[in-house]
Chains A and B, each alone.
Chain A
Amino acid sequence: MRTAIEDRALVSLRGVRKAFGSFEVLRGVDLTVAKGEVAAIIGPSGSGKSTILRTINGLTPVDQGVIQVGDIAVTDPKVDKVALRHRVGMVFQQYNLFPHKTVLENVSMAPIQVLKEPRKEVEERARELLVGMRLPEKALSYPGELSGGQQQRVAIARALCMQPQVILFDEVTAALDPEMVKEVLGAVRKVAEDGMTCILVTHEMRFAREAANRIYFTDKGVIVEQGEPKAFFANPQDPRTKEFLDKVL
Chain B
Amino acid sequence: MSETSIFTDVLRWLPFVLWGFGLNVLMSVLAILLGTTAGVFLGLGQVSHTRVVGGVSRLATQLFRNAPWLVLLFYCIFLMPYSITISSATYNVPSWLRATLGFSVPVAANFSEIVRGAIGSVPKGQWEAAEALGYSRSVTLLRIILPQCTTRMLPPWMNLYALLITATPLASIVGVEEALARTQAAVQSEAQASFLIPMYVTLLMMFFLYTYPISRVSNALERRFRTV
Answer whether A and B touch in the complex at a CB cut-off of 8 Å. no
